[in-house]
Amino acid sequence: MSGSGRPARGRGAPENGRRAPVDGHGDPERGPGGTPPAARTHPERGRGGPGAEGSRSERRRGRPAGRRGGEESRRAPAGGGDPGREGRTREAVTPIPADGAFGSGRPAAQSPPDTPEGGRARRRRSSFEVEALSERGLGRRQQKILIAVVTVVVVLAGGFGLTLVVSTLGVRTPPPEQGSAADAIGLARPADYQGWNSPKPFGPIADRRADASPLRAEEVFAARTLTGGKLRLRLLDRRLDGACAPVMWGGGALAALARTGCTQAVRGIYLSADRRYVAQYTLFNMSGAAAAEAFVKEMAILYRGGGWIRPLESGGAAFSPDGYSEASGQAMGHYAGFVWVARADGKEPAGKDDFVSLALAARGGEKAIYRRVVAVTGPGTPPGK
């Protein structure tokens, strides 16, 4: 009893059945800092007591068991408390590791750190992994295989697209020079070629339906002798073919000829009176002027190795396979005429060799085409018949 008439209260003793707060302030029913007593850790709970399940559930939620109790038990009491009791209180609330880790020689299991979303920290993704593929359940090996396959497909598609673009633009491999294809089979071809479109006077026979009568060899090569300046050419042989393919050699030339609707080809071969020059004239009967002009233009490329006209065989004149020769093509309505000239010895022309006059003389067979134009445009029989 004190002098005030009230019984002396022991330090730390409860008043009215309540335990005094450790730090001297706050709600007696709550722990330090307002922590409910149930949230504080007690020795018996860490050893499998009634609070063990609570500690395990806290660990599952990512919070170490007894964390709050441990922190707040280390707080120093406010106001002069009993040092001995402070030590006993701190010892009493020290958390004991669960799962028997205490005294087992190994540290207690630690929970993964909290993330801002409250879950576990995300596993660091490999540098090769693609997030979109990982979300679809594909492993690293599956992703590698898929990416490799896609890469191969893209490369193949790119190559195919490039090939398609190049072919659309009409880019062609330059035709081979004279040698391999022609020399292997022993056939001659010209070293130079020029082609021309159909002149306007041949407009009336631009369509073969306007000039339906077939060609005849004696019609085109009616004259046995042709002259041009000082040159005199003698006809050695003539031939009419009812199919055009046998007259040509070379896959490219045959393919181009097949697109023209050609139905006839007539050839005549000449030798000059001095036996110095040889010439051949060939006339094709095609479906129309457009086809004839296209064929004449295509031969400007194909003559280099894609094909040419076969020379008419004759004992008195021939074109040397490895010799020099020149040629030209002329569209005349639905006809395409080709003149081919050379020196008989296969040499290149010298200063006194006039290949221009030689070619003009060999084109004497074109008079038959002019007569056909007259037959279409005017009455009566064409002159010369």
pLDDT average, residue stretch 197-217 = 95
Residue range 229-235: mean pLDDT, rounded: 92
Residue 265 has pLDDT above 60, yes or no: yes
Strand ordering across the sheet containing 277-285: 192-196, 325-332, 335-343, 277-285, 264-272, 231-241, 225-228
Whole-model pTM? 0.54
Please report which residue ranges of 303-379 form alpha helices under DSSP H: 355-362, 367-377
Q: Residue 371 has which token pair?
A: 């007569």
pLDDT digits (tens, 9 = 90+) for 275-287: 999 999 999 999 9
Q: What is the mean pLDDT of residues 20-41?
A: 46
* Residue boundaries of the structural domains of the chain: 26-122, 123-171, 180-377
d(C-alpha 171, C-alpha 347), whole Å: 35
Tell which wins on pLDDT, 94 or 356: 356
Q: 289-302 and 251-258 helices cross at what angle (nearest 10)?
A: 170
- Which tens digit of pLDDT belongs to each residue from 156-188? 888 777 766 555 554 343 444 444 454 446 789
